Amino acid sequence: MTDASLTGPLDPRAFDKPRILLAGAVDYAMYDRFRDQLSQAPSTGLTVVELSTLGGDPEVARMMGEDVRFHSDVNPGRRLVFLGKAAIYSAGATFMSFFAVENRYLTRGTRVMIHERKMDKQLQITGPLTTCIASVKAMLNELEHSIVIQNEGFENLVRGSAVTMDEVLRRAPQDWYIEAQEAKTLGLIADVL
Cα dihedral 17, 23, 29, 34 in deg (nearest 10):
30
Q: Give Cα separations from 127 to 6, 78, 131, 133 (angstroms).
A: 60, 56, 7, 10
Q: What are phi and psi of 188, to 5 degrees?
A: -80, -20
Per-residue pLDDT tens over the stretch 70-105: 999 998 899 999 999 999 999 999 999 999 999 999
Per-residue pLDDT tens over the stretch 155-175: 999 999 999 999 999 999 999
Tally of CB atoms within 10 A around 19: 17
pLDDT at site 118: 85
Residues ≥6 apart with Cβ < 8 Å to 157: 93, 94, 96, 97, 114, 163, 168, 188
